[in-house]
Amino acid sequence: MLFEKVIKTTKRNEMIDVTREIEKCVSDSGIKEGICVIFVEHTTAAVTINENADPDVRRDILTYFEKNVPINFGFFHSEGNSDSHIKSTIFSPSLSLIIHNSNLLLGTWQGIYFCEFDGPRTRRYYVKCISD
């Protein structure tokens, strides 16, 4: 089952917790055992899994990338968003997660994040739930 999700970002660089939305897709799919694939169709956005208990982790990740892959580095790309392309490549446009007993297998502290690197924008991502 395929779900299309739309998300509105508010900052140039941000990580938005989409764990609950993905879990709802899994629940709505009715799949008990299988795989959940999350795919971002943009070249300046990504998805990742990381800690969801302390918001300072997200802030630290974004601060690190803003410092080490700065917008004003002097890239050649005429649109001025090469930093965004690099950040999304370092992360990933997709994730594959295990569905077991109708739930995503995530660690206690893990959350799923939509990563915006060229916002604010209206973005789209897809969730595909596949049964065993």
Instruction: Report mean pLDDT in 10-residue bins for the chain, 132 residues.
Output: 97 98 98 98 97 95 93 79 91 97 96 98 98 94
* Three-class SS state of 94: strand
Whole-number pLDDT of residue 78: 76
H or E element in which residue 46 lies: strand 45-51
pTM of the model: 0.94
* Three-class SS state of 101: coil
Of 3.30.830.10, 1.10.3720.10, 3.10.20.30, 2.60.120.460, the CATH number of 2-131 is 2.60.120.460
Residue carrying structure tokens 């299309």 = 4
Whole-number pLDDT of residue 98: 98
The pair of structure tokens assigned to 47 is 């998805």
